[in-house]
Amino acid sequence: MTKRRKWTAIPGLLALAVGAVMLSAYSGASSSQNYSPEQPIHFPHTVHVQKLGMNCLYCHNAANKSMDPGLPAVSTCMGCHKLIGPDRPANDLHDNKPYHSTEIEKLYKFADVKSMGMDMGPNAKPIPWNRLHKLPEYVHFPHTRHINAGVTCQTCHGQIQKMQQVYQYASLNMGWCISCHVNGYSAQEGEEAAGYAAQQQGAGASPAAVTTASTERKKARYDCANCHY
């Protein structure tokens, strides 16, 4: 009997182990934080945002008025790049040396543009960007509410203006969302997250400009039906 009892314990233990594995697999504790896929065009946010100072909303133009932030249409890219072709004259972006951009070349291929100054061709194709940030479909995240409440983009997306290749900065797990809704969020925190404070300090700006941002923490609703419906 003892022998038999010893054996019967094993399936039970194994079942427990399997259960634990399954629970952890389905618990949602997994995250794609730090996911950083290669993109079809190595789009440099560093150049566009950091060096040229473009506002995020120039391309992601629905972020302040829709659930959906919006992705720039190919024509939006070509709005500027019609006149900024692959072969670049010397400018301050690249140490005042002329250079050739293979990435703009790729853009021209997608837009079916043969040479600088031409309009998009008939065989233009959308750029198949690899998606990073994806919430499950049972979560409804309104970008508009957050942007209009003064949450800076970088709070959730990280300092994209400094990323050579964009990666998923935050875990985007529910606990991460809730922590902000419960503990609140201040404008100062937002500026710090955006990296503007450090930048301004580095540029020799008056420290007062940084500290005028309010430290009052605004909290938000967090009952389930805010996001899950």
Which spans of this chain sit near another protein (rule: CB under 8 A)? 1, 4, 7, 10-11, 14, 17-18, 21-22, 24-26, 30, 32, 35, 61-62, 64-68, 70-76, 120, 124-134, 136-140, 142, 144-145, 148-149, 181-182, 184, 218-226, 228-229
Nearest approach in angstroms of CB 54 to another protein is: 17
Which is nearer to another protein, 153 or 197 (by Cβ)? 153
> Cα-Cα-Cα-Cα dihedral of 150, 151, 152, 153, to 10°?
-130
Nearest approach in angstroms of CB 44 to another protein is: 17
Which is nearer to another protein, 24 or 91 (by Cβ)? 24
Nearest approach in angstroms of CB 201 to another protein is: 31
Nearest approach in angstroms of CB 104 to another protein is: 17
Which is nearer to another protein, 109 or 181 (by Cβ)? 181
Per-residue DSSP letter, 218: B
Exposure string over 15-39, b if 16+ CB within 10 A, otherwise e:
eeeeeeeeeeeeeeeeeeeeeeeeb
Nearest approach in angstroms of CB 204 to another protein is: 36
Angle, CA 198 vertex, CA 195 and CA 199 arms, to 5°? 80
> Could you give the CA distance from residue 85 to residue 78 in angstroms, rounded to a whole number?
10
Which is nearer to another protein, 100 or 219 (by Cβ)? 219
